[in-house]
Structure 1
Amino acid sequence: MKEIRKNGLFFTDIGERILVIFRKVLSELQKVDELVAAEQGLEIGKIHIGAYRTACTRFIPKIIRAMENQYPGLEIKLSEGSVDQVKEWLRSKYIDVGIIIPPDKDFDTVHLMKDQLIVLMHSSHPLYQKEIISIPDLQGEDILLGKGGYEVQVHDLFKKYNVTPHVRFEMEYIETGLSMIQEGLGITITTKKKYLVTARPSRFS
């Protein structure tokens, strides 16, 4: 793909342009018509997107719908996998665009959104009444660690405070963690926009 600008002719990377659209769509979905109208040259062709499970369930469908509405001739393919798989797909050029967390210096990234990590626990837990929980508060607690892509951030957070997490179980799905919480088997750390409202969230300090 090519563009003409004041300094002459240059090639535009399609993956980078799609990421720009992603960011715009997420920030102002109600203005999709105006936002994507400024992006030219994507009327036809194929785009292969790779994303981890949480992204696929939370916002990728809205992005795909917005893009298909504006570019009916654009064929969009979606591959769902773990964060590590998405990174490998990017390295091998199997996909054009990848949604990953956290940002990786090995790739050219565009920030899409921020989320807040929260801890979920049973109402009988001693920390339940605390509005703000610090990482040192979780020393020795049984951690139910999800594999939705945030586990790297969780480990980095514990490392920052020189605390070793006691991971009792690792899970693929947040629903498993919530069921274990109901049985008092531990606590889980997830993102504010991901959890199901079946347990009281507390935020980290």
Structure 2
Amino acid sequence: MELRQLEYFVAVAEERHFTRAAERMHVAQSGLSTSIRSLERELGASLFVRNTRSVELTNEGRALLTQARHALANVAAAKDAVAAVRGLLIGKLAVGTLQCLGAVDLPAALARFHADHPGVEIRLRQGGSPDLIERVRTGDLDLAFVSAPPGMVSGVTLAPIRAEPMVLACGPDHPLRERTTVDLCELAGETFVDFSPGWISRDVVDQAMAAAGVERRVAFEVNDVHWLLDLVSHGLGIAVVPQFFTTKRTAARFVPITDPPHWNVAVATASGRHPSTAATALLALDDIRPRTEAGQLPPAAIGRG
């Protein structure tokens, strides 16, 4: 098994198309296809289900994909280590992030990193925390800035950045708008706006409301922060959101919650694998280094998977 075969395999798996994979790897499609067939013969298994429009991974292919990404990441880390001794920082850095990340000014941090290390190619992917965490686990991303789930995550280490209290967001005419604080139990019977099921912030609020004995009705499910605040601003529902939403330009009003649930922001990296030199350099920047100061989550509070 050769590294080039693994690179071709990962390209086909990610592109789900032999022609696009060949273009991405700058090789003839016939050569790429021959390499994949040779790899399948060596492993004694079909890695793809092929059809005229696209290809899909078989169960064997999915098992190989995670290991192939890890193998390629280890080779890249070895090259990085040699380059670092020579005072160079090269290679690629794949970063994932939430749509709205109040704890870190990631665009500014990436700009600083790029200015310091122009030899590193940066790739950014935005998405929901569960998807980003899975991509870190499988090696598709070097690291990701995520909303930390309440429990342990297998194969991923979550280093805390900030534990942020959540607040009530309501419309400008809502009866609770002028309150100095509100209890969760007072929200019974309200119509809610929230993110879709599976989003970690949604899970945090669901658990907090259940603990307060409130059965809530989420009538408006969104996947965009601005949509959520617009719906709240027009009086269509209320929401429980991270405190940094108060910095957004919106007509919504925000009220502190007594004994609020917390939204925990963390950096996800793969367990059992040293981060690349580039990832380590990014995380060393002062404005995104994982913290343990007062008011922020200690590492033990999130743990390792």
Same fold by TM (over 0.5)? Answer: yes
Say whether the 8 Å CA contact 1:56–1:80 is kept in structure 2.
Answer: no
Question: How far apart are residue 42 of structure 1 and its match?
Answer: 7.0
1:51 pairs with one of 89, 97, 113: 97
- 1:56-92 Cα offsets, whole Å, 9 max, x none, are 9962212211211222212211111111210221222
Structure 1 runs of 4+ aligned residues shifted over 3 Å read none
- The CA distance in 1 between the partners of 2:130 and 2:95, in whole Å, is 15
Question: How far apart are residue 158 of structure 1 and its match?
Answer: 1.3
- 1:9-44 Cα offsets, whole Å, 9 max, x none, are xx9xx7xxxxxxxxxxxxxxxxxxxxxxxxx97721
Aligned length: 169
Which consecutive residues of structure 2, in runs of 5 or more, have no partner in the other structure?
1-73, 78-85, 259-305
1:201 equivalent in structure 2: 254
Q: Which residue identity lines up with residue 80 of structure 1 in the other structure?
A: Q
1:32 equivalent in structure 2: none
Say whether the 8 Å CA contact 1:116–1:192 is kept in structure 2.
Answer: yes
2:108 equivalent in structure 1: 62
- The CA distance in 2 between the partners of 1:57 and 1:108, in whole Å, is 18
Residue 82 to residue 132, structure 1, CA distance change in 2 (3 Å): same
Say whether the 8 Å CA contact 2:172–2:235 is kept in structure 1.
Answer: no
1:186 equivalent in structure 2: 237
> Percent identity among equivalent residues?
21
Which consecutive residues of structure 1, in runs of 5 or more, have no partner in the other structure?
1-10, 15-39
Q: Which structure features the higher share of helix residues?
A: 2
- The CA distance in 2 between the partners of 1:77 and 1:160, in whole Å, is 40
1:131 pairs with one of 180, 183, 202: 180
The 5 A counterparts of 1:19-168 are 43-55=89-101, 59-103=105-149, 105-106=152-153, 107-147=156-196, 149-168=200-219
- 2:140 is paired with a residue whose SS is coil
Residue 57 to residue 89, structure 1, CA distance change in 2 (3 Å): same
Residue 120 to residue 41, structure 1, CA distance change in 2 (3 Å): farther
Say whether the 8 Å CA contact 2:183–2:257 is kept in structure 1.
Answer: yes
Larger radius of gyration: 2
Residue 42 to residue 157, structure 1, CA distance change in 2 (3 Å): farther
Q: Which structure features the higher share of strand residues?
A: 1
Question: How far apart are residue 179 of structure 1 and its match?
Answer: 2.6
Q: Which residue identity lines up with residue 201 of structure 1 in the other structure?
A: F
